[in-house]
């Protein structure tokens, strides 16, 4: 019984031959057709795998010969690099100033003086950037030569409504009444177009569908602005939405809804992603472009809002058809009201945190101070036609008594036309140089006197058409003008001889005695 429980030792397989095995297994004669086909496929696969391995080895060899790709530069590294380059330029300027002076002092004294000069230049630049110190550019503007004139950079099919300039003055943006939004290079005028997405994509980006399904969404653009970092572009128009675009990809990324009327003006707060929008519904809305959120509403205007402007502080400047200009203190939720004497204000802009400039529909420009509710200085008939203007004969026929003129300039009481409306004003940031535009055939440069002493005319640049928008370069070296045959907000007048597009005019400046970055 015990023997039954034991397992028999397993025999070695090699001890007994398999009756199915033959000594000549490798002979292909004895292989079946199916086996031969399987073997052929296996050999083919081995050849393919071998080929792939050889390709990988070849790629490895090529990769070893090529240099490894450099890692992509981050935003922080770019800022550090730009800051170092800027500091090196400042040091080079300081070195140049040092070489021009006597070099009898010791080396340590020279280096100490150089460091103090670099600090002074950097501090001056920061103060000018923040607007606490005014740059005196108007006294450096040279008289234009005979060949100096506006040159068209970009052409549009319809009237240009707005122009915006990037912080580095290298790129520009423009929009027209036909909905075309262009992104172009200031140096060569090379342009790229922003394509509007389909209606389904807009709705997916939180845009509201038109109230009447049978009507298409209006793409008429009235306002355009670009953020300080150049990342976001915002547009607004007759569809009552604020559209946010990515300037790097030129793609639509968000649609802000909430306004009950056309969006007439837009501006970014400098150095931030805060976006302000003004509308014909008499409200101002605050958005955050980074978070894609609505933040606040501002109420006060009794009629359509036409223009909005903002600097670094949380203060907002607006004008409306209620003949008022309002300075909003956003954190305090308060506002200061400035009333125009006898006309409707059309446009405005900051000079600094305490001074503003405005243009009116009676052709006058006004200088304002935060300390007074009325203008400190007014220039009437700033864009009245003269015998040298291209619209002089046309306007003269419309005026009573054949056009009552005095010293070649139409009197204010006898001239009132859309051609003399000051439709745009601009100030070179942190400086005393300003420009105004109308439809009388010229763009005028003005010098803003210090301590609210007034405004004096400098030069006039000929330009045919409605000047619907103006933008200065940060350096003051050139001026951009958005020109059209029709005014920005209507079609009550037309200049057939005008061209629709963006024009640039260079401004020649005298060199400063003290070098500035």
Per-residue pLDDT at 23 exceeds 70:
no
Question: What does the pLDDT read at residue 197?
Answer: 92
What angle separates helix 107-130 from helix 75-100, to the nearest 10 degrees? 120
Angstrom distance (rounded) from CA 149 to CA 39? 84
* Mean pLDDT of the region 494-501: 92
If you count them, how many residues does the chain have? 517
* Percentage, residues of the chain above pLDDT 70: 71
Q: How confident is the model at residue 399 (pLDDT cuts 50, 70, 90)?
A: very low
More confident residue, 56 or 278: 278
Cα–Cα distance for residue pair 458/75, rounded to 1 Å: 42
Say how far apart CA 438 and CA 451 lie, in whole Å: 27
d(CA 486, CA 236): 19
Q: What is the 3-class SS of 108-155, one letter each residue?
A: HHHHHHHHHHHHHHHHHHHHHHHCCCCECCHHHECCCCCCCCCEEEEE
pLDDT score recorded for residue 52:
41
Average pLDDT over residues 316-341: 92
Q: What is the pLDDT of residue 204?
A: 93
The confidence score (pLDDT) of residue 79 equals: 72
Distance CA 389, CA 439 (A): 10
Query: Other C-beta atoms within 10 Å of 311: how many?
Result: 21
Average pLDDT of 288-309?
Answer: 94
Cα within 13 Å of Cα(216), Cβ side: 6
**Burial status of residue 145 (CB atoms within 10 A of its CB: 0-12, 13-18, 19 or more):** exposed
pLDDT at 93 over 90: no
**Which parts of 159-217 are beta strand (E)?**
160-165, 171-176, 181-185, 191-194
CA separation, residue 41 to residues 34, 47, 48, 53 (Å)? 11, 10, 11, 18
Per-residue confidence band for 90, with pLDDT thresholds at 50, 70 and 90: confident
Contact (Cβ atoms closer than 8 angstroms) between residue 450 and residue 142: no
Which one is predicted more confidently, 90 or 302? 302
Q: Stretch 159-183: mean pLDDT, rounded? A: 94
49 φ/ψ angles, rounded to the nearest 5 degrees: -65, -40
* C-beta atoms surrounding 21 within 10 Å: 7
Could you tell me which residues come within 8 angstroms of residue 372 by beta carbon, excluding any fewer than 6 positions away?
Answer: none
- Mean pLDDT to the nearest integer, 408-431: 70
Q: Which of 106-110, 286-290, 338-342 has the lowest mean pLDDT?
A: 106-110
What is the distance between the alpha carbons of residues 13 and 113, in angstroms, rounded to a whole number? 98
Contacts of residue 377, defined as CB under 8 A and 6 or more positions apart, other chains included, come to: 366, 367, 452, 453, 454, 455
Of 418 and 252, more confident: 252
Q: What is the pLDDT of residues 163-174, one digit of tens each?
A: 999 998 999 999
Find residue 171's DSSP bridge partners: 185
Q: How confident is the model at residue 387 (pLDDT cuts 50, 70, 90)?
A: low
**Helices of type H across 23-74:** 33-65
Which has the higher per-residue pLDDT, 121 or 330?
Answer: 330
């Amino acid at each position: 019984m015990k023997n039954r429980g034991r397992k028999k030792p397993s025999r070695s397989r090699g001890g007994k031959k398999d009756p199915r095995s033959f000594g000549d297994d490798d002979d292909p004669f004895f292989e079946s057709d199916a086996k031969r086909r399987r073997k052929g496929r296996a050999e083919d696969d081995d050849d393919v795998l071998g080929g792939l391995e050889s390709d990988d080895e070849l790629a490895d060899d090529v990769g070893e010969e090529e240099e490894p790709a450099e890692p992509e530069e981050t935003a922080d590294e770019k800022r550090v690099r730009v800051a170092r380059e800027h500091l090196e330029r400042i040091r080079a300027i300081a070195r140049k100033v040092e070489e021009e002076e006597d070099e009898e002092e010791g080396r340590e004294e020279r280096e100490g003086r150089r460091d103090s000069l670099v600090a002074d230049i950097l501090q001056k630049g920061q103060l000018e950037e923040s607007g606490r110190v005014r740059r005196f550019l108007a006294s450096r503007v040279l008289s234009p030569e005979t060949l100096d004139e506006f040159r068209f950079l970009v052409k549009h099919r319809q009237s240009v409504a707005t122009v915006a300039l990037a912080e580095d003055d290298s790129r520009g943006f423009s929009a027209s009444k036909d909905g075309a939004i262009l992104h172009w290079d200031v140096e060569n005028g090379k342009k790229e177009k922003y394509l509007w997405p389909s209606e389904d994509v807009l709705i997916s980006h939180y845009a509201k569908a038109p109230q009447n399904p049978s009507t298409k969404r209006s793409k008429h653009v009235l306002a355009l602005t670009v953020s300080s970092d150049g990342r976001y572009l915002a547009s607004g128009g007759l569809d009552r939405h604020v559209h946010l675009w990515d300037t790097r990809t030129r793609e639509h990324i968000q649609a802000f809804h909430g306004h009950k009327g056309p969006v007439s003006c837009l501006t970014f707060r400098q150095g931030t992603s805060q976006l302000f929008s003004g509308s014909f519904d008499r409200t101002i809305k605050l958005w955050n472009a980074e978070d894609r959120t609505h933040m606040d509403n501002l109420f006060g205007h009794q009629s359509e809002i036409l223009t909005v402007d903002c600097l670094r502080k949380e203060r907002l400047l607006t004008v409306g058809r209620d003949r008022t200009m309002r300075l909003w203190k956003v954190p305090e939720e308060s506002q200061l009201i400035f009333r125009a004497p006898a006309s409707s204000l059309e446009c405005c802009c900051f000079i600094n945190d305490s001074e503003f400039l405005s243009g009116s529909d009676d052709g006058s420009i006004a200088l304002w101070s935060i300390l007074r509710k009325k203008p400190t200085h007014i220039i009437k008939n700033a864009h009245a036609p003269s015998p040298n203007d291209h619209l002089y004969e046309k306007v003269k026929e419309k005026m009573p008594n054949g056009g009552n003129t005095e010293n070649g300039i139409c009197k204010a009481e006898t001239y009132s036309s859309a051609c003399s409306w000051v439709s745009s004003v601009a100030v070179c940031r942190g400086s005393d140089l300003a420009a105004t535009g109308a439809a009388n055939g010229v763009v005028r440069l003005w010098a803003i006197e210090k301590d609210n002493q007034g405004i004096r005319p400098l030069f006039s640049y000929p330009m045919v058409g409605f000047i619907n928008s103006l933008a200065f370069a940060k350096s003051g070296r050139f001026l951009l003008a958005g020109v059209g045959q029709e005014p920005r907000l209507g079609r009550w007048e037309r200049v057939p001889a005008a061209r629709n597009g963006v024009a640039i005019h260079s401004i020649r400046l005298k060199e400063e005695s003290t070098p500035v970055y």
